[in-house]
Amino acid sequence: MRTRFNWPLWSGLALSLIAFATYFSLFVAQPSTRDLPWPTFILFAIAITLAVIGTGRAFAAEPRSRARRVIASIVAFLTATIFVFFCFAIFVATKMLPKSNEAIAVGAKAPDFALSDINDKPLALSQLVTAPGTKGVVLIFYRGYW
Amino acid sequence: MQPVAISVDTPEQSRDLAHKAGYTFPLLSDRGALVIRRYGVLHPKAGVAGADIARPAEFLVDRSGVVRWRNLTGDFRVRARPDEILAAARALP
């Protein structure tokens, strides 16, 4: 008897990878899908459902095949692991920030500095805050490596 | 209100980012994280290959050089929204 391709199993794994990748390539750009990643969760829910159905198929398949069961279990485990890793990456790892107790407080003088701009020309804070027409400056510190 | 972005990226990396994203405000390069450290927003060993980088943070500085508002996020996916910064800026003299 010919064994049929277990499409729910493999599409579950593929969808899990797609769910992971599209969060970082697509959904992270919009605050509404970044802060609470509901489209990503829907994709993962479908992926895990497919993986469970696929595993059920492998276990119910005739003739009974130990190899198919082992492969199905591994693929289903990987599908779920991608989801767990995603949750860790966005809910735990992104909160691993220092307390920054020494950060300059509201009401304190902002230390002056001069740093190179994108044309390698030095630009000073004192120069920026006193520029004509400006009410002030927003200093945005970011992690870099974009 | 003048936005100014600061990171440990080189001017070349920042230029690429500015061109790609269409940013026209200054992007400043703090290679040794000296200013980042001075402002108390260092995130030690959090960069590529264990480099010291900045944690995400925003400071609103008025014309006299005094900090009027700041935001230290507890989650680096969640940054200050433009409307929050503008509301703080409107409160400036």
User: pLDDT tens digits for B19-30?
Assistant: 999 999 999 999
**A30 domain residue, yes or no:** yes
The per-residue DSSP string of B42-93 comes to EETT-SGGG--EEPPEEEEEETTSBEEEEEE-SSTT----HHHHHHHHHT--
Which residues in A lie closer than 8 A to residue B72 (C-beta atoms)?
100, 103
Smallest Cβ distance to A135: which of B29, B30, B89?
B89
| Chain B residues near residue A115 by CB distance under 8 angstroms | 6, 28-30, 35
Asked whether residue A102 is assigned to any structural domain, the reply reads no
In a domain, A16, yes or no: yes
pLDDT for B58: 96
Q: Which structural domain, as residue segments, surrounds residue A30?
A: 7-95
Mean pLDDT of B2-29: 95
Rounded mean pLDDT of chain A? 93
Domain assignment of residue A106, yes or no? no
B1-8 mean pLDDT: 94
Partners of residue B59 in chain A, C-beta under 8 Å: 104, 110, 138-139, 141
Mean pLDDT, each 10-residue run in order, chain A (146 residues): 82 98 91 90 98 95 90 97 96 90 96 96 95 92 85
Q: Using CA atoms, how far apart are residues A105 and B67, in angstroms rounded to an integer? A: 7
- Kindly indicate the confidence band of residue B77, based on its pLDDT and cuts at 50, 70 and 90: confident
In a domain, A133, yes or no: no
DSSP 8-state class, residue A133: T
Domain membership flag for residue A24: yes
CA distances from B59 to A104, A109, A140, B4, B83 (A): 9, 11, 7, 10, 14
Nearest Cα of chain B lies from the Cα of A113 at a distance, in angstroms, of 7
Q: What integer is the mean pLDDT of B6-17?
A: 96
For residue A71, being part of any structural domain is answered with yes
Cross-chain Cβ contact B6/A115 below 8 Å: yes
> Closest Cα of chain B to A38: distance in Å?
15
Q: Please answer yes or no on whether B4 and A128 come within 8 Å at the CB atom.
A: yes
Q: Using the beta-carbon criterion (under 8 Å), do B65 and A140 form an inter-chain contact? A: no
- Say which of A105, A126, A137 has its CB closest to residue B2: A137
Query: Is residue A25 in some structural domain?
Result: yes
The CA angle A38-A9-A66, to the nearest 5 degrees, is 145
Mean pLDDT computed over every residue of chain B: 92
Task: Please state, in angstroms and rounded to a whole number, the distance separating the CA atoms of residues A49 and A42.
Answer: 11
Q: B38-50 pLDDT, tens per residue?
A: 999 999 998 888 8
Q: State residue A1's pLDDT score.
A: 47
Q: What is the pTM of this model?
A: 0.78
pLDDT in tens, A48-58: 999 999 999 99
Overall number of domains in chain A: 1
Q: Which residues of A touch B52 (CB under 8 A)?
A: none
Mutate to test the interface with A, among B14, B16, B20, B39 (most CBs of A within 10 A): B39
